[in-house]
Chains A and B, each alone.
Chain A
Amino acid sequence: MNPLRLLALPLLVALAGCGFAGRVIGRNITASHEPRRIEHKIRDPRRADARLAVLWIGHATILLQMDDAFILTDPVFTNSVGELSPRLVEPGLDPRDLPPLAAVVISHMHFDHLSYDSLDMIEHKTKIVLLPPGARASVPRYAFESRELDRWESYDADGVRVTAVPVRHVGGRWGIDQTWRTRAFTGYVFEYHGLSVYFGGDTAFDEADFEATRTRFPNLALALLPICPTEPRDFMRHTHMDTLEALDAFSILGAARMVPIHFDTFINSDDKPGDCPRLLREHMRERGLGDDRVTILSIGEQRVLVPK
């Protein structure tokens, strides 16, 4: 066991009466330290047959291929986040196997989305990391440029356009800083060669935000939407969509396809591994949505969504 996790035992004792927080810390401390291995991991993620391809590396980390451009979202390749939360499944791609990236985006400051060690691993794979407003002051200095994008602001380079779009979450990293860091979270839309892709990062359900994005980006080919954590719902609903809300968001965004993210990689709720994709499949059946509309990937799986 990571000795740092032992340090959390007093915290666990202190939070034992606090219900949810104590349960989550307890599950993390007692979780297996070795992440599940992935068989037949992809070594070369470049797909010559794809206009649009998605590789789920785990949690909110997606390698997106849009023709010859590659974008990486919320890179987390470490075996734990926040020192205490072990990874349940190893990353679906070795960071050394990443192709040169047109951009890396960070949706918000939480440890499972902004990982300093992971940025070290990809430091020379990208020239730019895009951040939500107010985040740069809490990001270490790296070889790449880091730039904040305010809501609806865009970054353009070599035909790739990345636009920050509104979502609803919290902006802190260490807990109490979310009281004063109220804007450091965002979603993004990526555009390249006529394709556009939505990345929700980590968001609660906000009809107004999704509609506003749809208005500005009416032809989304794909929406990458978080479906977890969901429980306890009264707590999570302010910052996270559940599976049904994710399908509602997909509908409002009007995207052609959806790939769910942000599940079964770390323990950050009362949900058990497998709960969220199972619920999503149930809701898909109720709504008549098949794999051609909502594609549930396994960690390490790559899918061509728009072939050449």
Chain B
Amino acid sequence: MLASLTAIRFACAENPTTETARVENPTEAKPVDTPPPSTSPVLAGGIWAIAQLVPAPLLVLSSDHVGGGVRWQITPFVYSFGVAARPVRAFVVDPVARHSGAVELYASPEWVCCAPNDGTGWIARGGARIYLPVVGRGESLTWSLGGSYYRASGGGGASIETGLYVLFGTFGLTVTASPALARREIITALTIRYF
């Protein structure tokens, strides 16, 4: 953001007056407008990548077990049925493309930890999710429903999940149920997603 701002030339006028600024004959004087600022793909990609590193904190629940963890997500495919143009997105997904109504395929690495008498572990998850706008074209409230397949140290299995999101989808609460995932049957996530 700052780099793009500083890339913009700031032409401070020294008190231009009507007379000095006036173009008497438009056919002779052809002022050139300032070109739009350009962007560095590396900078833009880097900023987007940093945003993806923000994890979603997890609360891991089972009948005799409470733990924690973190989850990340990448979104290789989104079909948005809520936007006016460019319904298919990959990886870089505007909040409105997702939360005005969309179907997405996602991949999520999860790291679970912090439960007494239990070790840490990784869960790899891939799934699909549908987002439906509830209030304000999804900017104020969105509901999601999805399913996924996971792989963990004890094997693989299926999960179902649902979620609610506010503030342009930046904050959400999702609940993932995995009946066959021992000691991690219910995982609640505070999702923090920014693109």
Which residues of A come within 8 Å of B, CB atoms? 4, 7, 83, 116-117, 120, 136-142, 146, 151, 166, 168, 170, 172-180, 182-183, 204-209, 211-216, 218, 237-239, 245, 248, 251-252, 254
B29 touches A238 (CB 8 A): no
Taken together as a complex, chains A and B put the C-alpha atoms of A251 and B82 apart, in Å, by: 43
Contact of B16 among A174, A215, A252 (CB under 8 A): A252
Total contacting residues, chain B, CB less than 8 A: 56
Taken together as a complex, chains A and B put the C-alpha atoms of A178 and B169 apart, in Å, by: 18
Whether, in the assembled complex, B44 has its beta carbon less than 8 Å from a beta carbon of chain A, the answer is: yes
Q: How far is the CB of B90 from chain A (nearest CB, A)?
A: 13
Given A176-B47, A182-B38, A208 and B5 touching (CB < 8 A)? Answer: no
Contact of B15 among A168, A177, A178, A248 (CB under 8 A): A248
A137 touches B83 (CB 8 A): yes
Q: Chain A residue with minimal CB distance to B27?
A: A215
B14-51, CB < 8 A from A: 15-18, 21-23, 26, 29-34, 36-39, 41, 43-44, 47-48, 51
A83 touches B51 (CB 8 A): no
A177 touches B4 (CB 8 A): no
Contact of A7 among B13, B36, B167 (CB under 8 A): B167
Taken together as a complex, chains A and B put the C-alpha atoms of A166 and B166 apart, in Å, by: 35
Taken together as a complex, chains A and B put the C-alpha atoms of A252 and B14 apart, in Å, by: 12
A248 touches B16 (CB 8 A): yes
Q: How far is the CB of A19 from chain B (nearest CB, A)?
A: 14
Contact of A183 among B26, B36, B51 (CB under 8 A): B36
Taken together as a complex, chains A and B put the C-alpha atoms of A140 and B37 apart, in Å, by: 26
Instruction: Provide 5 A-B residue pairs closer than 8 Å at the C-beta atoms, listed in order of the A residue.
Output: A116-B96, A117-B136, A206-B11, A207-B21, A238-B10
Contact of B11 among A138, A208, A213 (CB under 8 A): A208
Q: How far is the CB of B171 from chain A (nearest CB, A)?
A: 6
Q: How far is the CB of B124 from chain A (nearest CB, A)?
A: 27
Q: Chain B residue with minimal CB distance to A235?
A: B5
B10 touches A204 (CB 8 A): yes
CB-defined contacts of A209 to chain B, threshold 8 Å: 33-34
Contact of B194 among A146, A174, A213 (CB under 8 A): A174
Given A7-B171, A151-B33, A174-B194, A138 and B47 touching (CB < 8 A)? Answer: no
B194 touches A179 (CB 8 A): no
CB-defined contacts of A251 to chain B, threshold 8 Å: 16-18, 21
CB-defined contacts of B47 to chain A, threshold 8 Å: 176, 179
CB-defined contacts of B140 to chain A, threshold 8 Å: 4, 83
Whether, in the assembled complex, B168 has its beta carbon less than 8 Å from a beta carbon of chain A, the answer is: yes
B26 touches A208 (CB 8 A): no
CB-defined contacts of A136 to chain B, threshold 8 Å: 83-86
Q: Which of A7, A151, A212, A252 has the most CB of B within 10 A?
A: A252
Q: Chain B residue with minimal CB distance to A239?
A: B5
Taken together as a complex, chains A and B put the C-alpha atoms of A4 and B164 apart, in Å, by: 13
B82 touches A140 (CB 8 A): yes
B10 touches A215 (CB 8 A): no
Taken together as a complex, chains A and B put the C-alpha atoms of A166 and B18 apart, in Å, by: 20
Q: Chain B residue with minimal CB distance to A210?
A: B21
B84 touches A141 (CB 8 A): yes
Q: How far is the CB of B40 from chain A (nearest CB, A)?
A: 8
Whether, in the assembled complex, B139 has its beta carbon less than 8 Å from a beta carbon of chain A, the answer is: yes
Taken together as a complex, chains A and B put the C-alpha atoms of A137 and B44 apart, in Å, by: 18
Taken together as a complex, chains A and B put the C-alpha atoms of A134 and B26 apart, in Å, by: 30
Taken together as a complex, chains A and B put the C-alpha atoms of A280 and B34 apart, in Å, by: 26
A174 touches B195 (CB 8 A): yes
Contact of B100 among A117, A140, A166, A206 (CB under 8 A): A140
B137 touches A117 (CB 8 A): yes
Given A182-B39, A218-B23, A4 and B84 touching (CB < 8 A)? Answer: no
A212 touches B32 (CB 8 A): yes
CB-defined contacts of A211 to chain B, threshold 8 Å: 21, 23, 31
Whether, in the assembled complex, B95 has its beta carbon less than 8 Å from a beta carbon of chain A, the answer is: yes
B23 touches A178 (CB 8 A): no
Contact of A168 among B8, B30, B136 (CB under 8 A): B8
Whether, in the assembled complex, B97 has its beta carbon less than 8 Å from a beta carbon of chain A, the answer is: yes
CB-defined contacts of B96 to chain A, threshold 8 Å: 116, 138-140
CB-defined contacts of B83 to chain A, threshold 8 Å: 136-141
B10 touches A179 (CB 8 A): no
Whether, in the assembled complex, B118 has its beta carbon less than 8 Å from a beta carbon of chain A, the answer is: no
